[in-house]
Structure 1
Amino acid sequence: MSYRIDRLGHQGDGIAAGPVFAPMTLPGEVVSGTLNGQRLADIRIDEPSARRVSPPCRHFKACGGCQLQHADDAFVATWKEDVVRTALAAHGIEAPFRPIATSPPQARRRATLSARRTKKGAMAGFHGRASDVIVEIPECRLLHPDLMRAIPVAAALARETASRKGALDVAACLSGGGLDVNVTGGRALDGPLRITLAGLAEAHDLARLAWEGEVIATRNSPVQRFGNTQIVPPPGAFLQATAEGEAALLADVMAAVTDAARIVDLFAGCGTFTLPLSARAQVHAVEGEAAMIEALDIGWRKAAGLKQVTGEVRDLFRRPLLPDELKRFDGAVIDPPRAGAEAQVAQLIAAAIPRIAYVSCNPVTFARDAAALISGGYTLSGLRVVDQFRWSSHVELVADFARM
């Protein structure tokens, strides 16, 4: 039986009437295959789309790391912008879009690899599409060339420390000192394991190796640079996925609050926005993880020429900053996780802060919060989709709001 693909879903799968979900297909294509429930398998492309291209990576069909390598770049850019437009339209919102900022191939500077011990040694890579099977990726087109060194590191960690019953998650990030690695999902630390891990850090020239967040070895400082400031983040701390994506987000954030002299940075992390902003404004950083605020504070104290930065450890979901705490600021930056920031946005509205820069990784919760801001007297001045996760279905954006 044949199916005509009507659209792409939020996970990047083609959707035909039914609905029938068909991965690696595009709108307008006629396809056939074996229907398992609502999902089409063994897909044949009977009538291809003009937007279809040959995937640049030979691992694409098996690997689950990318969903959209079969579409040309212009299609992916338009689709990601339309995901945001659709989310906003559900709340009756139209917004002026700035040009999308797409990171280049081989730009990802952090990734979490899965690694498993095998009969013959070990394997490491990404999970297969809709599977827990590990797919090795020796020619990945997504990861930065320097990050590719993490693949043999992950395999060595599994070979030397893991059982064959479970996989390790190996989070690796490029830093100024080399590879910064944090392993989760492994067995409990003991003396022999610490010795083994220290040897692996030495053998693979790692900047830092941590096990379940506990630092085992630091051979070179795993510094990250935010503006003119260097910080050492805690193991496994959140960082933007690409340098190009971070730069695009930062440029729009700084433009949104350009006239502010006192800024509050909510969900501040280790200071991605706080520290560059402090070159021209006083900034109060609020973050739920104490180790991130500590890293931010140490970095600011070691830097020169910055205005005052203060930090606060606070769960902004349970205890959002209230209007009397916000009234001293004339600009706000907010970068919440996927759940958005409904409670904190309500307090920003009550405080009537003149300018707000909102960074989001979830168009649906962003649209909800944007609707609240607009109802509260703000104008959505501009929005940009920032595609750090090239060839994936993941959508990020940065928007600025001004009080009328």
Structure 2
Amino acid sequence: MSTETLVINSLGAQGDGIANGADGPIFVPFSLPGEKVAVARVKNQATIMSITEASADRIEPACRHFGLDGVGGTCGGCSLQHMAKPAYNVFKRATLIAALKSKGIETDVAEVIEAHAGERRRIVFTARKREKGLLIGFNQAGSRHIVELEECPITSSGILERLDDLRALGAAIATGSDHFRMTVTETTTGLDVSIDGVRGGAADRERRNLTETTLKMRGIARVSVNGEIVIEPHQPILDFGGAKVNMPPGAFCQATVPAEQAMAELVLAHVGKAKRVADLFSGIGTFALRLARNAQVLAVESDEKAIKALDHAARNTQGLKPVKIEKRDLFRRPMMVSELKTMDAVVFDPPRAGAEEQCRELAKSKVKTIVAVSCNALTLARDLSILIEGGYKITSVTPIDQFLWSPHVEVVVSLSKG
């Protein structure tokens, strides 16, 4: 390990400052362009010891867990709380533009739709049992050390106000000191608490403890352990444009309601008056159920519980056009050109790995409108390049800051052919 002073030239895609070293770039987390910092360095990774000259864009972090003097490093949940909002928005948009350019895509990119504090309705905590009670929080960056949660400005008040209840639930089921996860989602009917990684699952005694503990609380819709429902005082319901979905344990949903609404509005606007729409990687119906207000929808998803929840919601919501469901692994068996020929529009929102094989089939199709939704700018750029090579043209690119104070950005892109 060596100690030296560096000048930060730029920010990398993960939000780390980058300095030019004699043997290549040096990555300095929690630094900003133009800053002069004293660091301790191991190879190309450096840790700030002190800031000699601070950037005009450096601000006081919103959270005490972010790190001493705003340098960061205590809690691994956020990486950009030290950056002023104007520069932060420029960084998020520039990251997307750079990803597109890496695949030769030059196109207009809209300004970032901003995120705000207190909007996160879905949070994944790390927890473990200890003698003085359950430890719950987030892992320190690059470490298994859990930073005990005292505040979290990104998280909704509906979750933060129930931290003591969450500690009690975790303590009721944990049998040892091993780390486990608690995924907490704020639904319209209360908190859905999905506990995973508990050794031995829910044995009879722990199940009784968890049930008795839950029954003493208000505002807990459901508690599940390793995917098994232990107690469900209320069905955990999410509202997708008036369609009520009973969320399966641990199911994926968008992290914030405002971002979900912004994405849905863009998807609906881009699809327009299409009569037949395929929603690929549909999940529990974030877009499919909204699209069905105006179009016949084919919803395709590999997760059986998710697609069944979507189907149940569609069947029990008035005013929807027909929604057909198909359980299908689109990574192994993408929809072929012959299956796409009846579609006026296709929407796809894949996991971070993207939809490379599906896009190869879409590129050969004659579908007029495609709407791509992604949380990974690099795999999105790869997928878009495939579609462009197949004759599609990008008509709109909109970045959405769903993940406040992180380097990640959500993106909605529309494309057309013919």
Same fold (TM over 0.5): yes
Tell me the secondary structure at the aligned position of residue 237 of structure 1.
Answer: coil
Tell me the secondary structure at the aligned position of residue 330 of structure 2.
Answer: coil
Question: How far apart are 1:97 and its partner, in Å?
Answer: 1.5
Per the alignment, residue 35 of structure 2 pairs with 29
Per the alignment, residue 329 of structure 1 pairs with 343
Q: Report percent identity of matched pairs.
A: 39
Q: In 2, distance between residues paired with 1:58 and 1:96? A: 38
Question: How far apart are 1:150 and its partner, in Å?
Answer: 4.7
Per the alignment, residue 378 of structure 2 pairs with 364
Q: In 1, distance between residues paired with 2:278 and 2:330? A: 13
1:112 to 90, 110, 124: 124
Per the alignment, residue 65 of structure 2 pairs with 59
Contact preservation (8 Å) 1:125, 1:151: no
Provide the TM-score with structure 1 as the length reference.
Answer: 0.97
Contact preservation (8 Å) 2:173, 2:207: no
Give the residue type in structure 1 aligned to 2:147: V
Contact preservation (8 Å) 2:352, 2:379: yes
Structure 1 residue ranges without an equivalent (≥5): none
Tell me the secondary structure at the aligned position of residue 17 of structure 1.
Answer: strand
Does residue 14 of structure 2 align to residue 3 of structure 1? no
Question: How far apart are 1:69 and its partner, in Å?
Answer: 0.4
Equivalent pairs, count: 404
Question: How far apart are 1:44 and its partner, in Å?
Answer: 1.1
Question: How far apart are 1:96 and its partner, in Å?
Answer: 1.5
Per the alignment, residue 194 of structure 1 pairs with 207
Q: In 2, distance between residues paired with 1:359 and 1:172? A: 24
Contact preservation (8 Å) 1:285, 1:309: yes
Give the residue type in structure 2 aligned to 1:25: S
2:26 to 5, 20, 27: 20
Contact preservation (8 Å) 1:213, 1:235: yes
Q: In 2, distance between residues paired with 1:374 and 1:228? A: 35
2:188 to 161, 170, 176: 176
Question: How far apart are 1:145 and its partner, in Å?
Answer: 0.4
Does residue 407 of structure 2 align to residue 397 of structure 1? no
Contact preservation (8 Å) 1:124, 1:152: no
Does residue 44 of structure 2 align to residue 41 of structure 1? no
Per the alignment, residue 266 of structure 1 pairs with 280
Structure 2 residue ranges without an equivalent (≥5): 68-73
Tell me the secondary structure at the aligned position of residue 153 of structure 1.
Answer: helix
**Residue deviations 1:32-66 (CA, integer Å, cap 9, x gap):** 12223322224211111111111111111111111
Q: In 2, distance between residues paired with 1:376 and 1:152? A: 54
Give the 3 Å change call, closer, same or farther, for CA 150–348 of structure 1 in structure 2: farther
Per the alignment, residue 97 of structure 1 pairs with 109
Contact preservation (8 Å) 2:128, 2:136: yes
**Residue deviations 1:233-267 (CA, integer Å, cap 9, x gap):** 11010000001100111111111111210000000
1:279 to 272, 289, 293: 293
Q: In 2, distance between residues paired with 1:111 and 1:302? A: 29
Q: In 1, distance between residues paired with 2:133 and 2:397? A: 48
1:257 to 263, 271, 293: 271
Give the residue type in structure 1 aligned to 2:85: D
Tell me the secondary structure at the aligned position of residue 87 of structure 2.
Answer: helix
1:71 to 83, 90, 101: 83
Give the residue type in structure 1 aligned to 2:264: L
Tell me the secondary structure at the aligned position of residue 379 of structure 2.
Answer: helix
Does residue 357 of structure 2 align to residue 343 of structure 1? yes
Tell me the secondary structure at the aligned position of residue 64 of structure 2.
Answer: coil
Question: How far apart are 1:393 and its partner, in Å?
Answer: 1.2
Moved beyond 4 Å, runs of 4+: none
